Structure 1
Amino acid sequence: MNKKLYLSFLWHMHQPYYKDDLTNKTLMPWVFLHATKDYYDIPWYLEKFPNIKATFNLVPSLMAQIEEYINGTANDKFMEILKKEVSLLNAEERLFLEEYLFLPNEQNMIKPLSRYNEFLVKFKAEGNSINSFSNEELVELEVLFLLTWCGNFIRENNNIVKNLLNQKRGFNQEQKLQLVATMFDFLKEVIPYYKKLCDSGQIAISTTPFYHPILPLLLDRQSAVEAKPHVVLPHSQEANFKDFASMQVKNAVEYYKKQFDTNVNGFWPSEGSVSVKTISLLAENGVKWACSDEEIIFKTLHNGNKELIYKPYSLITKNGKVNLFFRDKYLSDLIGFEYSKKGAREAAHDFISHLKSIYFNSSESVIVPVILDGENAWEFYPNNAKEFFEELYKQLDSQAWLETILFDDVPNIEDLEEVEIETLASGSWINGNFDIWIGSNEKNRAWELLDMTKATFDNEKENLSDDVLKKVEKEFLIALGSDWFWWYGDDHYTELNHQFDEQFRAHLKNIYELMEKNVPTEIFTPIVKKDNKKRVHIPPRDFIYPVVDGNNSNFFEWLNSGEIDIKKEFSTMDSSASIVDYLYYGKDKDCNLYLYLKGEKIKYLKDEELQLKINIDDKIFIFDLKEKIESLVQNGTYFDLALDEGIELKVYDQKKEKVNFMFEIFQDNRKIQRYPLYDETVLDFENLFLKNWYI
């Protein structure tokens, strides 16, 4: 029997539930926007290659909101304001629009529309404000914002969108409303399209607990301790959320059956978060297979051998057997984080080369699970990743030794031998623990408010009518979603994190109001505060002359440098494993470039085998990091390098006013951080030199 490599893709399509049912308002527009850009395009790219198969994981909270947009009950706050005649907007509404209108990716969504880029330049020049925009300009800006959220399918197949793109500028209110109506109408096509592809056998559809909770934490908060023994748990007494965990799974299974008229086979547990109790709950609800991350099987088997992930596993629980698959983190992250910086052909070829390596190094047939976010990475690719997917699928289609399969198909493939495991480690796809959702002050505060609210509910629920009880339970299910916790703490950053905080606490407030109880003061107190003064990237203000010793030796040496808060550059992707938190940069009058990589974790890793790789204007330099000061030369470029509390670097003779830059950190030959995730950042000294010239 000839061996084969079976490749299984899973694209995870998810949005949290943004609607406040008590006010009947959808508070953030991301379901609508991603539906017109990503939810149709990604399977559409696949359909052009009938031999290529993939699983799409559709979260019920996403599908339910698409339904509400279609039936007219979404009442999206952003879209309602955007549809208004701009002359009628009040100051608060303009400010609300201002938070969104320039959020799209600058390189791949804004710059391709030349008029949009003109507005971005003006917006930045005005201190990130639209106050100076005329009414005519604001209408144009709104249309351009909507157009950049139109995916390739609608751009190529809808005349209204095509005509607006060809017009390029000078849009009016009537055209804006016409575009909004077109986009709303397009939503009706999304879910039926998945059903069509599923019926054809080219895709399978899996799902997730309804509102995307971290099930292990609901079933037993000690799962966090099992995953990471020194985690700091909330101070409050743990409330019992087991019933809500069961509801999340049961409701998802029932909703899937209603949408697709068949039983669901597979689950991607939210964030790949698993435990034995979680898998048992899935089995109780008829789930046949589930996926998690490679870290989980490594921890389960106490063995980090990469070959372990290329097998199908099964766990027999008290409720039945569930087949388990574990994602190849490296391959999945290549698509999610790396390939956006490469040309489509080069990226696809690189992916195939890694698969070939796995194939030739194995003595038998293997399954390679590649699982990642299906919506957020594509704005970092040119043209919404269309060329990348077409090239990837074309190259995959031509490999005789490779076959793409659905996870549903695995039990029927004779040359894939199932391995039964007796237990399963607790953890998620991020570092094999639950740190993103519990353990920091802000995250724990959210859990404490949940515990307090649940204790009140437990005392009152016997007095509630069936109708009120149902509404309260829904508010709890929503509040237990993972996304609110994702944005608490320093792991991830968005300019809208205060809105996520407000929504989380609003659901708790709703519970008290539904029970006709006074809302505790704690619920009204923000867990995070909006801070307009916080900036991700501060440009340099003057020349600098630091001493290269691995430390910020005195207050003044980096005072006028540029500063990038790397933690806040991350949005929906994970940054918790990073060791560099801040990048400082600047130049002296002799055009020497200085870099200072600062992070609390660096000092704890000084004795490890660390490597720094930097890319300056497409020239690559690699340094072994030792706790010393040294001078060296690579490829004709001279450097001073030092490691101590941070990593400090002097790069001699860098005359360019704009420098394209990225760095990667390796520990024991394993990449542990890259910045930026998707492309290069620009270190801009143009204004600095102009300032000096005028002086």
Structure 2
Amino acid sequence: MSHPLYIAFIWHQHQPLYKSPGSGVSLSPSQQYRLPWVRLHGTKDYLDLVLLLERYPKLHQTVNLVPSLILQLEDYIAGTAFDPYLTASLTPDEQLTQQQREFIIQHFFDANHHTLIDPHPRYAELYQQRQEKGQAWCLANWELPDYGDLLAWHNLAWIDPLFWDDPEIATWLKQGRNFTLSDRQRIYSKQREILSRIIPQHRKMQEAGQLEVTTTPYTHPILPLLADTNSGRVAVPNMTLPKQRFQWSEDIPRHLRKAWNFYKDRFGQIPRGLWPSEQSVSPAILPDIINQGYKWICSDEAVLGWTLKHFFHRDGAGNVQQPELLYRPYRLQTAEGDLSIVFRDHRLSDLIGFTYSAMPAKKAAADLVGHLQAIAKMQRESQSEEPWLVTIALDGENCWEFYPEDGKPFLEALYQSLSDEPHLKLVTVSEFLEEFPATATIPGGQLHSGSWVDGSFTTWIGDPAKNRAWDYLTEARVMLASHPEATEENNPEAWEALYAAEGSDWFWWFGAGHSSNQDAIFDGLFREHLFGIYKALNEPVPPYLKQPVEVHEAQTNHTPQGFIHPVIDGKGDEQDWDKAGRIEIGGARGTMHNSSVIQRLWYGVDHLNFYVRLDFKGGVAPGRDFPAELNLLWFYPEKTMVNSPVPLADLPDAAPLNYHFHHLLEVNLLTQSIQFREAGDNYQWHPRFSRAQVALNSCLELAVPWADLQVPPDYPLRLILVLADEGRFCNYLPENALIPIEVP
């Protein structure tokens, strides 16, 4: 019997608790929410995703709605939630304080400007003024209509294009400028109207059978770390752990039960699936999940790989080798009973999350469908009696900010193609498991302890700042335990504050790895939730909670913090490169120190290209102030291939310049032309075709396609940049090192 290829999309919709528990930090009652993301993502990302799906009734999907998100949506719908952004938006222009004006100029452009700001001329005009003339100039020169328009556009731009045919919204978009307080009040009313449709629409589509709605532990905590912070050492044995071991496994059934009851109340039925926060799992948490009644969970292919002691290699096209191991559900066996688990295809999920936004919509959709068709072909060739299930699971809100029109053209093209393809069938996870129960088994104790990030917990523990936050949480939890009279029934404030502080998001932003324009606010919110525990217990607040967990300064040197998709125009757009790796050159010792013409080097990747950017000292020119030839040389560690020495005269015999390399890209900085070469026998270099892009304006930007380098996914390589003058070596960067690159 031949089966179609079954595909389970799972969209994860989550926001942490931005609501302050009234902790004593100076917040007025009208500003009990510190950040606006529930309201803004609510108008842009949650409703349109399922409304679009409803147009394609053959396609079934799963959406995960975190309780902490739904709670906050309900506050906004009721009109009781006010964040500083909303309060400013509803303030008469002439009553804006100096502090509010500074806040507006700094934060009301917190959006991807390519997709949310540039398409709207007035919003783009104000953005360019701030970027080109600076915040101080705006503060000194902007008049009331400028503030009024910015307040309106910050809210309008986050309304999903699916709703632009609404007569009122269409009128505002056409109006463009000279927005009044009355206009902004109506925009706010429209936001609440959209928010009020989210849960009813999900409930309606679930009852119709097209959608499965799942849930997450109450405030999105990492359950394995609540059970025991020492679980961080399963994947990283030498991890530096917090001073105090956090072991409060009794909190796990509380989070699971609260999510279960919350779901029953909102959706009129019991949940079947559980999205473990950050797809983090461990043997210790399985009994509580089973005992609460959940039937299935999901995690990442890296967790499966660790569990089976099998690394999932991919071919040159990015398709998994031994796909039959990944594309099937498993049954976790424990003394308390069994639990089904599915593991997502990490690469396909990341393509939607991080790469397809940089491609034309139809081409991106065709690429994803092509991957699925290739998997379907492998399934047919395997002559498997059991059907395959490809799980594509990812964040369902943040990625769309980077897609034109919030992803609407991409999703429409994708859904139409999937509807027309007879060999591909989209299902909810429960639908598949009911028809094809898992036959492959994994002993519960064999399950790896890890998350969707590298199969480890390093994103949330192990860094000094993250560990400090865990120690603060431990102290607060011990304090709560010392008050046995403070039960959830008679002191709910203490317990709600604890649940909020146990959420994963605070630890995500602490320390190295991730950064945003609101790091200090996340830091403050975490401490406010801890404040709330002590306040509810009438205990003195430890002095350390009145200081930030870490100092929030701009980092200098750092490794890449995520995928990037820069526009190669030589202008160095700050948003395009904000997640790139960065190496300071100008202040370093050595060959570059004397002139400091090149001040910093940026580098990063997506699934299509490798990117490099060089920032120069102002007013300098290639050929006059620094060499006009730039050579990029790629070194492939631990791979047997033909390599050749750098083909330059006067090259010092010192590492890493005396290494042998496999690929060479020569860039003429005067003409912005390129030559690409590959090493051959007898130390020869042979010309090859390249689709690399180069642009030199205020900086140098380069994009080199992975297809040029012909390396498979999940492969390490190293890079060095060498400057030359008419074929003679001048200097190189970074100094005394190679840039480490991991192919996605």
1:317–1:417 Cα change, 3 Å: closer
1:260–1:466 Cα change, 3 Å: closer
Instruction: Tell me how far apart the structure 2 counterparts of residues 105 and 392 of structure 1 sit (CA, whole Å).
Output: 23
2:175 corresponds to 1:167:
yes
Instruction: Tell me how far apart the structure 2 counterparts of residues 534 and 498 of structure 1 sit (CA, whole Å).
Output: 18
Give CA deviations for 1:45-98 in whole Å, capped at 9, x if unaligned: 111111111100000000010011112222323211221012212222222323
Instruction: Tell me how far apart the structure 2 counterparts of residues 150 and 120 of structure 1 sit (CA, whole Å).
Output: 18
- Whether the aligned pair in 2 keeps the contact of 1:16 and 1:481 (CA below 8 Å) is yes
**Aligned amino acid, residue 196 of structure 1:** K
Give CA deviations for 1:280-316 in whole Å, capped at 9, x if unaligned: 2211110000000001111111112441110111112
Match of 1:213 among 215, 218, 221: 221
2:214 corresponds to 1:191:
no
- Whether the aligned pair in 1 keeps the contact of 2:66 and 2:216 (CA below 8 Å) is yes
For 1:386-397, what aligned pairs fall within 5 Å after superposition? 386-397=408-419
Instruction: Give the corresponding residue for 2:156.
Output: 147
Instruction: Give the corresponding residue for 1:419.
Output: 440
Tell me the SS of whatever aligns to 1:8: strand
Instruction: Tell me how far apart the structure 2 counterparts of residues 263 and 194 of structure 1 sit (CA, whole Å).
Output: 14
Instruction: Tell me how far apart the structure 2 counterparts of residues 16 and 452 of structure 1 sit (CA, whole Å).
Output: 22
Instruction: Give the corresponding residue for 1:86.
Output: 93
Instruction: Give the corresponding residue for 1:20.
Output: 20
Instruction: Tell me how far apart the structure 1 counterparts of residues 50 and 603 of structure 2 sit (CA, whole Å).
Output: 33
Match of 2:142 among 133, 154, 161: 133
**Aligned amino acid, residue 349 of structure 1:** A
Unaligned runs of 5+ in 2: 313-319, 559-565, 573-582, 643-655, 668-672, 680-691, 718-744
Instruction: Give the corresponding residue for 2:659.
Output: 627
For 1:492-507, what aligned pairs fall within 5 Å after superposition? 492-507=514-529
Instruction: Give the corresponding residue for 1:619.
Output: none
Percent identity over the alignment is 30
Tell me the SS of whatever aligns to 2:197: helix
Tell me which moved more, 7-16 or 72-81. 72-81
Instruction: Tell me how far apart the structure 2 counterparts of residues 302 and 466 of structure 1 sit (CA, whole Å).
Output: 42
For 1:516-665, what aligned pairs fall within 5 Å after superposition? 516-531=538-553, 553-556=590-593, 559-561=596-598, 563=600, 584-586=614-616, 588-590=621-623, 627-628=659-660, 632=664, 637-638=674-675, 661-662=702-703
- Whether the aligned pair in 2 keeps the contact of 1:8 and 1:406 (CA below 8 Å) is yes
**Aligned amino acid, residue 670 of structure 1:** P
Instruction: Give the corresponding residue for 2:71.
Output: 64
- Whether the aligned pair in 2 keeps the contact of 1:583 and 1:595 (CA below 8 Å) is no
- Whether the aligned pair in 2 keeps the contact of 1:13 and 1:375 (CA below 8 Å) is yes
Unaligned runs of 5+ in 1: 541-545, 612-623, 643-650, 675-695
Instruction: Tell me how far apart the structure 2 counterparts of residues 597 and 497 of structure 1 sit (CA, whole Å).
Output: 35
Tell me the SS of whatever aligns to 2:159: coil
In the TM superposition, residue 175 of structure 1 has moved relative to its aligned partner by 1.0
Instruction: Tell me how far apart the structure 2 counterparts of residues 269 and 226 of structure 1 sit (CA, whole Å).
Output: 18
Instruction: Give the corresponding residue for 1:451.
Output: 474
Normalising by structure 2, we get a TM-score of 0.78
**Aligned amino acid, residue 7 of structure 2:** L
- Whether the aligned pair in 1 keeps the contact of 2:115 and 2:405 (CA below 8 Å) is yes
In the TM superposition, residue 477 of structure 1 has moved relative to its aligned partner by 0.6
- Whether the aligned pair in 2 keeps the contact of 1:340 and 1:382 (CA below 8 Å) is yes
Match of 2:278 among 271, 275, 282: 271
For 1:470-481, what aligned pairs fall within 5 Å after superposition? 470-481=492-503
In the TM superposition, residue 606 of structure 1 has moved relative to its aligned partner by 5.1
In the TM superposition, residue 654 of structure 1 has moved relative to its aligned partner by 6.3
2:690 corresponds to 1:669:
no
Instruction: Tell me how far apart the structure 2 counterparts of residues 273 and 625 of structure 1 sit (CA, whole Å).
Output: 43
Normalising by structure 1, we get a TM-score of 0.83
**Aligned amino acid, residue 169 of structure 2:** V
Give CA deviations for 1:111-131 in whole Å, capped at 9, x if unaligned: 000111111110112324541
**Aligned amino acid, residue 496 of structure 1:** Q
Tell me the SS of whatever aligns to 1:338: helix
**Aligned amino acid, residue 188 of structure 1:** S
For 1:266-305, what aligned pairs fall within 5 Å after superposition? 266-305=273-312
Match of 1:202 among 203, 206, 210: 210
Instruction: Tell me how far apart the structure 2 counterparts of residues 289 and 318 of structure 1 sit (CA, whole Å).
Output: 16
- Whether the aligned pair in 2 keeps the contact of 1:585 and 1:595 (CA below 8 Å) is no
In the TM superposition, residue 560 of structure 1 has moved relative to its aligned partner by 4.0
In the TM superposition, residue 629 of structure 1 has moved relative to its aligned partner by 7.2
In the TM superposition, residue 658 of structure 1 has moved relative to its aligned partner by 7.3
1:520–1:171 Cα change, 3 Å: same
1:563–1:82 Cα change, 3 Å: farther
Instruction: Tell me how far apart the structure 2 counterparts of residues 582 and 63 of structure 1 sit (CA, whole Å).
Output: 41
1:296–1:88 Cα change, 3 Å: same
Instruction: Tell me how far apart the structure 1 counterparts of residues 630 and 75 of structure 2 sit (CA, whole Å).
Output: 50
Instruction: Tell me how far apart the structure 2 counterparts of residues 449 and 657 of structure 1 sit (CA, whole Å).
Output: 45
Instruction: Give the corresponding residue for 2:326.
Output: 309
Give CA deviations for 1:204-240 in whole Å, capped at 9, x if unaligned: 101111100000000122211112212110112x243
- Whether the aligned pair in 2 keeps the contact of 1:82 and 1:97 (CA below 8 Å) is no
